[in-house]
Amino acid sequence: MNFLRNLLAAILGTLIAFGMLFFMFLIFISLANAEEGVTVKKNSVLELQFKDPINDYTGSNDADPFAGLFAEAVGLDDILHAIAVAKNDDKIEGISLRSQFVMAGWSQTQAIREALRDFKESGKFIYAYSDLYMQKDYFLASVADSVFLNPVGGMDFRGLSAEVLFYKDLQEKTGVKMEVIRHGKYKSAVEPYLENEMSEANRTQIKELLESLWGSVVEQIGSDRNLYIDDLNVIADTLGGRSPLYAKQSGLIDDLLYMDQYEAILKKASGRSEDQKIQYIELSDYMKEAGKRSLYKGSDRIAVIYAQGEILYGEGGPNYIGQGLINKALIKAREDKKVKAVVLRVNSPGGSALTSDIIWREIELTKKEKPVVVSMGDVAASGGYYIAVGADKIFAEPTTITGSIGVFGTIPNISELAGNIGINAEQVATNSNSTEYSLFEPMTPQFRGVVTESIESIYQTFLNRVSVGRNISMARADSLAQGRVWSGIDAMELGLIDELGGLNDAIASAADLADITSYSIRRYPRYKSNFEMLMEDLSGAKTRLQEDMIKSELGEDAFGLYKDIKRTTQQRGIQASMPFRLTIK
């Protein structure tokens, strides 16, 4: 026994020692990085390469010594701030845009594009270069003064498409089914479980959505490249940019250059001789310096609250919306006398109807005391629209996906599979409804009736929120509902939003409503630091590691399918969620 006790003590001591060494190593690295600092030299060229996923907001804490060690995403707010600071920075001569495989949504990309357009007003140059332009990359690059492509590179310009997978046959073959109850003609989040092919209603809304988004994209490209929209569509239809030579001849590209030739142009533009090196500064470094400079100054404040991700019941975090963090932020902003207005930035496909209504109520309370303006990101649909609809004013980008006013419920059922493999479930209960539902038994008509009643009630509540928030009749709200999704442009025409614009437009509108001219910005919520998450959520770190391994084995598309199935099986309660998971390419 003594031997085993001593052995266990030795193992435990070794693990503790290794743990202490590991944390000391992290602290040493973080301190070393902190001491390096960032120096912006004269005649610098700001290089924009978006290598990491882009979130609207990361809630990064500059005081966190581990902030740079576990970065998984970069904040759109930080990117836009850096570009705005660079506009008036005498040390920045111009921007080199080398985006490739931008990991951002269309509206996020458009926000960066608008920031670059504003940067050009300073008279400084923006040049774009890439070995390969995917459509979103080119959409961003087309704002540049000149766009260059590798002579043996590639370009994708073919229009937008989307794919939806259907699982009805899979369910019948496996005996694992999703019991579905829904309200909404277009509420097709559950359609893949009910049908083998796309309904005409769903096909119509996806096609019209894609056409609206694509129309906005080609309009902006045409404006900056001096090309007609009809000509751009001909190029897309005929794959007129499929080779570098065709891309140049069609006017999509200014010239075909190798990297050294491109850098010769940058040298000349930034005042460097041929034998001098270009003084690049990477965006990640410049953001650290730009973060020290405030674009908004004043004793009054506008609170910007970020609500991003799927809506789930709970505290919330960087990647999902819970009533906990969002409502705490709303209450804090409401009770802060220096805060004169609130801007809620929504980027969400929806989720829990209960959570959405809890957040809606807190917005109503806030609105009674201070103006509340919503800025919609890539998606503000279903539950995302639910929490936005009560605001005093709503802004959306032209490429925002919004609406989807409808609700549904999905409940897994494996009764057929259980019967096929010889499992029989027997229940014992005290009352007729004690056993509400069993995974191993077919759904009873009585239970389906109860759930249907709940869904109809929530749908009517949702319609009422829209009717009151947008000052329209219930009948009008119902005609715009049924789960139908709209682009920002269509939503504007239908009265679901007030104006087209980005986050800065929403902030300016909030200032007008609050009747203030000078103000500072306070961002919410505050997420746990990387160090806190490392200490408190080791199991979460393990889960992220496992998902990274699965992703590397399955590939991007198959991993997306895995995540969709996992998300569906974990849903609880009635859902106000976007009617499908779209990856628009």
| Cα dihedral 395/399/405/406 (nearest 10) | -150
Distances (CA, A) of 127 to 99, 149, 263: 11, 11, 10
Contact yes or no for 576/462 (Cβ under 8 A): yes
Known catalytic residue: 284?
Answer: no
Amino acid identity for residue 413 in this structure: N
Number of Cβ within a 10 Å radius of residue 54:
20
Tell me which of 30, 382, 415, 509 is the catalytic residue: 382
Query: Hey, which residues does 148 pair with through a beta bridge?
Result: 129, 255
Task: Report how far residue 393's alpha carbon sits from residue 343's, in angstroms, rounded to the nearest whole number.
Answer: 10
Which residue has 């923006």 as its token pair? 126
DSSP 363: H
Contacts of 268 (CB under 8 A, 6+ apart): none
Distances (CA, A) of 482 to 149, 187, 401, 456, 479: 45, 6, 15, 12, 7
For residue 460, give the nearest of 406, 508, 420 by alpha carbon: 406
Contact yes or no for 367/392 (Cβ under 8 A): yes
Tell me which of 124, 136, 177, 187 is the catalytic residue: 187
Contacts of 244 (CB under 8 A, 6+ apart): 149, 150, 151, 152, 153, 154, 155, 253, 256
CA 346 to centroid of chain Cα atoms? 9
For residue 320, give the nearest of 548, 542, 567, 66 by alpha carbon: 567
Contacts of 129 (CB under 8 A, 6+ apart): 96, 97, 98, 147, 148, 149, 257, 259, 262
Task: Report how far residue 550's alpha carbon sits from residue 545's, in angstroms, rounded to the nearest whole number.
Answer: 9
Known catalytic residue: 96?
Answer: no
Number of residues assigned to the chain: 585
Contact yes or no for 158/239 (Cβ under 8 A): yes
Contacts of 61 (CB under 8 A, 6+ apart): 67, 526, 529
Task: Report how far residue 313's alpha carbon sits from residue 168's, in angstroms, rounded to the nearest whole number.
Answer: 29
Q: Which residues are catalytic?
A: 187, 382
